[in-house]
Structure 1
Amino acid sequence: MLFGFIGLGNMGGGLARNLIRAGKDVLVYDLSQEAIEKTLAAGTSGKAAAAVGDLADADVVFTSLPLPSHIEQVMLGPDGLLAAMKTGAAYIDVSTIDPQSARKVSDACEALGIRFLACPLGKNPAAAEKAEEPIFAGGKKETYDELKEILQVVGDPVYYMGEVEASQAFKLISNMMGMTNVAVIAEGIRLGEKAGIAPSLMAELIEETGGKSFQSALRAPWIADGDFAPRFGLDLALKDVRLGCEMAEQWDKDPRLMKVALDYFKAASAAGFGGDDCNAVYKVIE
C-alpha cells in the first residue's frame, strides 16, 4: 500500500514520520526542503515527491495544511489532486478547518469515488511525534471502519465523531476553549505582576488552585521564562478562534468570551507576534 502525505509541519511531519517508522511506503511533499529531509530521516521507506501530482497513485493520501483555502487549492478543482486519484483510494485530512469546507471536500470525494475522513487532531507536536495524538474522525462509518487501523498507526486514541461537520466543529470548539484559556492565563499573569507577584511564582502557585488547567501547566511557565518559541503558532490560534466564532455566528450563537480572546489574538498578530507561540498574546495585554 502506498501512502502520500502533503504538509510536513509541526503536526503533519510527526504523523508522516510515524508512517515511515511503521515501515509504510510513503511519498511526502512539502514546500520546505528542511521539513522533507527531517521526515525522511525517520526511516528508509519514505521518499520525496517532486510535485503534488506525484501522489496520484497513492492508495491513501493525508493532508495537514494551515487553511481551508490551502486544502481547496491542493485538492479540489480540475487541477487538484482529487481529480487525478484513482477510484477507491482514500483521502484523510488532519487539518483544522471549518465544517462547511469539510463538507465541500467530502462531497467532492464522493462524486469521484474516493473515500474521505476529516480527522482533526487533539494535542501538540510532541504527541504527534510519539503517535499519541488524539484523532477525531468524521465521515461515513464504513469508511472509518475501513481506515481505523491506518489512523491508529499515526495517532491514539482514535474517536469516531459522526459526519465530517461534527469532527471539525468539535476541534474548533476545543481550540476556542483552549486559546481563550491562554488569553485568560496571560491576563492573570499580568494582574499578578501589578500585585507584585513574579510571573514564575504565579505559574508555580496557580497549579495549586482552581485556576489550574492544561494550558496553565504548559504555557504559564513559558510566559514566565519569556519563551515564545512556536509550538502552536499565534496566527494558527487566531485562525482557529476566528473560524470557530464564525461557525457559532452561523448557528445564531454569540460566543462573547471567545470573541474577547479573538480580539487579543488579532492585536497580537497585528503587532507582529503571529510567528510566536500562541502564548505571545501575553505581549499585548497590559
Structure 2
Amino acid sequence: MFGKLGFIGAGKMGGAVARRLATGGFEVHVHDLDPAAVQRCVDAGAVAAGSASAAVKDAEVVFTSLPMPEHVLTTWTRLAPELAEGASAVDVSTIDPGTVEQAAAAVGEYGHPFVTCALGKTPAAAEDGAIPLFVGGPGEAVSALRPLFERIGETTHEFESAGAAAMFKLISNLIGMTNVAVLAEGYVLARAAGITPEQFSAALADTGASSFQSQVRLPWLVAGDFEARFGVELAAKDVRLALDAGARQGIASPVAAQGLAQLLSAIAHGHGGEDAVAVAKVLDPQGRLLGSAGNETADE
C-alpha cells in the first residue's frame, strides 16, 4: 500500500482522479488555486494541502493535472528539488512530448522517474474510474505505480516512453475534436434540411458515422447543453499541440487544421468557455436552427 500521495491541480479531470484515489483508501493531499476544487476532494476523503510544496512533502508519488504545458514544466522545475527520496512524478495533463522531455529532465536531475498517465473520455467517466489511461515512462516506475493506475482507470495502454504516451493523447484529441467539428456541421445541415433532432440522432447511431463523440456530445447539442465538460479553449489547445508536434516531424494534418480553425472561430465568437460542441454555434449564429440556446454565449 502506498503512503502519502500528492496531487496538484484539481480541475475537472484532475479532481475526478484525486477523488477516485481518495475513495479508494489512498491518502491524497490535494492542492489547487481554487479552494472550492480542493473542498470537493476533501469531501471525498482527501486532505487539503495549503501549497504545492505541502502536497509534495514526504509524498511517495506526486501527480500533476494542469491546463497548459508551461504550467506543468514550471511546476515540476520548481518542485523537483522538494521531492522525497524515492518519489515518482506522474503527470496526467494533456501536454506535448517536448514539454514531457523537459519536465522529465528536471525531475530526473534529482533522481526521480517521470511518468505520463494521460486520461481518456470525460470527467463523469473519470469519477467512476471508467476511463482508459495512456501510460509511459521508466519500466520499473510504471510497474510500481500499477495499483494506482488500476484504481484510476479501467484500461491501461502502455507506451515505450512518457513522450509517446503524451503524443498518443494529443492524437486522440486531434481525432476526437475534429470529429466534434464535423458532427456539428452535420447536425446543423440536417436541421436546415428539415430533419428533426430525434430523427438525426436515431439514424446516425445506426451508421458508420456514429462515434464516441456523437454518442456523448450529440445529446448535449440537441438539448442546447453547452456546459464545459471539455471546453473549446482546451480542445483548441490540444489540437494545436498535436498539429505543432506533427509539423516538427514533417507531417501535415490538413483536416484537423480545419477543425482547429472552427474551434478558434468559436473562441472568437465568445464560446471559449463552453463545451467543444459549441462549435455548432458558429455555423448558426442567430440560433435559427439550434434554437435560442444556440445563440447564447458563455457570458450571458
TM-score (norm 1): 0.95
Aligned to 2:47: 47
1:87–1:112: 8 Å Cα contact kept in structure 2?
A: no
Q: What SS is found at the alignment partner of 1:5?
A: strand
Q: Which of 146, 149, 153 pairs up with 1:148? A: 146
Aligned to 1:29: 31
Where in structure 2 are the equivalents of 1:183-202 lying within 5 Å? Answer: 183-202=181-200
Cα separation, 2, equivalents of 1:200 and 1:10: 30
Cα separation, 2, equivalents of 1:177 and 1:61: 30
Deviation readout 1:145-169 (Å, 9 max, x if unpaired): 1111122122221121111121011
The alignment's C-alpha RMSD in Å is 1.2
Structure 1 gap segments, 5+ residues each:
none
Consecutive aligned runs of 4 or more in structure 1 exceeding 6 Å deviation: none
Q: Which amino acid aligns with 1:166?
A: A
Q: What SS is found at the alignment partner of 2:154?
A: coil
Deviation readout 1:123-153 (Å, 9 max, x if unpaired): 1111210122211111111211111112212
Asked if 1:280 is matched to 2:281, the reply is no
1:8–1:29: 8 Å Cα contact kept in structure 2?
A: yes
Deviation readout 1:181-233 (Å, 9 max, x if unpaired): 00000000111122111334322221122211111111112111111111111
Where in structure 2 are the equivalents of 1:1-286 lying within 5 Å? Answer: 1-43=3-45, 46-54=46-54, 55-76=56-77, 80-286=78-284
Q: Which amino acid aligns with 1:90?
A: S
1:200–1:225: 8 Å Cα contact kept in structure 2?
A: no
Q: What SS is found at the alignment partner of 1:221?
A: helix
Q: Provide the identity percentage.
A: 41
Cα shift at 1:260: 0.3
Q: What SS is found at the alignment partner of 2:134?
A: strand
1:56–1:81: 8 Å Cα contact kept in structure 2?
A: no
Cα separation, 2, equivalents of 1:211 and 1:132: 24
Cα shift at 1:86: 2.0
Q: What SS is found at the alignment partner of 2:157?
A: strand
Deviation readout 1:220-269 (Å, 9 max, x if unpaired): 12111111111111111111000001111111111010000000000101
1:83–1:112: 8 Å Cα contact kept in structure 2?
A: yes
Cα separation, 2, equivalents of 1:168 and 1:8: 19
The count of corresponding residues between Structure 1 and Structure 2 is 281
Q: Which amino acid aligns with 1:32?
A: D
1:92–1:116: 8 Å Cα contact kept in structure 2?
A: yes
2:119–2:134: 8 Å Cα contact kept in structure 1?
A: yes
Cα shift at 1:110: 1.5
2:76–2:106: 8 Å Cα contact kept in structure 1?
A: no
Q: What SS is found at the alignment partner of 2:199?
A: helix
Q: What SS is found at the alignment partner of 2:115?
A: strand
Aligned to 2:292: none
TM-score (norm 2): 0.91
Cα shift at 1:69: 0.8
Q: Which moved more, 1:242-251 or 1:141-150?
A: 141-150
Cα shift at 1:61: 0.5
Cα separation, 2, equivalents of 1:182 and 1:19: 31
Cα shift at 1:68: 0.4
Q: Which amino acid aligns with 1:253?
A: I
Cα separation, 1, equivalents of 2:197 and 2:24: 43
